[in-house]
Amino acid sequence: AAPPPSARGEPATPPPPQPLQYSLLLQHLVGDKRQPRVWDPAALGGIPCPPKSEEQKMVERVMESCPFKAALACVGGFVLGGAFGIFTAGIDTNVGFDPKDPYRTPTAKEVLKDMGQRGISYAKNFAIVGAMFSCTECVVESYRGKSDWKNSVISGCITGGAIGFRAGLKAGVIGCGGFAAFSAAVDYYLR
């Protein structure tokens, strides 16, 4: 038996390279042999972020809590409902109308009073619906542990059903379906 070339002092020749196969390349890029990478924004030239303090963590926990979200939706609904009520009263031709004397022109004070009453009425209704929906969605999301379109549909059905149920079972079912469909459409449009 002849000794190997390296033992005789001759340089070892590497074996010829194998041709690259497309399937092997795919296994390393998207297959089982792919190495996961840790995403680090600092390594990509991002802005370094210092660790959060306990106060920042506490504020984040409060802002992500269900009572805070419900209160925020209640205030937002009150403002939006008030603006909507004043707007609809402003374009309504029957504001300040007296059925006893249909030919009398209402005074500015009467019109403003009716606009304010309608604005407050709409504001209360929007605030209640906003708080109910937001609180229900937060509870459903916490229970399911997921944030997807199903949460808004489920909470829309619960909120619409609860509001409609005051008028009876049929109205509750219609309210559930209508509010769920509306919630799904809004969620689809926003996502």
Where are the chain's structural domains?
Answer: 65-95+102-146, 148-190
- Kindly state the DSSP code that residue 65 receives in the 8-state scheme: S
pLDDT tens-digit map of 108-137: 888 888 889 999 999 999 999 999 999 999
Handedness of CA 179, 155, 146, 78 (dihedral sign): positive
Question: Within 13 A of 86's CA, how many CA atoms are on the CB side?
Answer: 10
Candidates 120, 110, 65, 64; CA nearest to 88 is: 120
Residues of the chain with pLDDT > 90: what percent? 48
Using CA atoms, how far apart are residues 184 and 151, in angstroms rounded to an integer? 9
Mean pLDDT check: name the lowest of 30-34, 50-54, 125-129: 30-34
Return the structure tokens found at 22: 């497309």
Which residue would you say has higher pLDDT here, 125 or 40? 125
- What is the per-residue pLDDT for 129? 94
- Mean pLDDT value across the chain: 84
Write the DSSP assignment of 89-117 as a string of letters. Answer: HHH-TTTT--TT-TTSPPPHHHHHHHHHH
Model confidence at 185: pLDDT above 80: yes
Model confidence at 82: pLDDT above 90: yes
Instruction: Name residues whose C-beta falls within 8 Å of residue 181's C-beta, 6 or more positions apart in sequence.
Output: 156
Return the structure tokens found at 50: 């210092």
Name the residue with tokens 């998207």: 30
Which residue would you say has higher pLDDT here, 172 or 110? 172
Return the structure tokens found at 10: 């001759």
Name the residue with tokens 């304010």: 116
Contacts of the segment 93-99: beta carbons below 8 A, 24+ positions apart: none
Name the residue with tokens 């030239």: 45
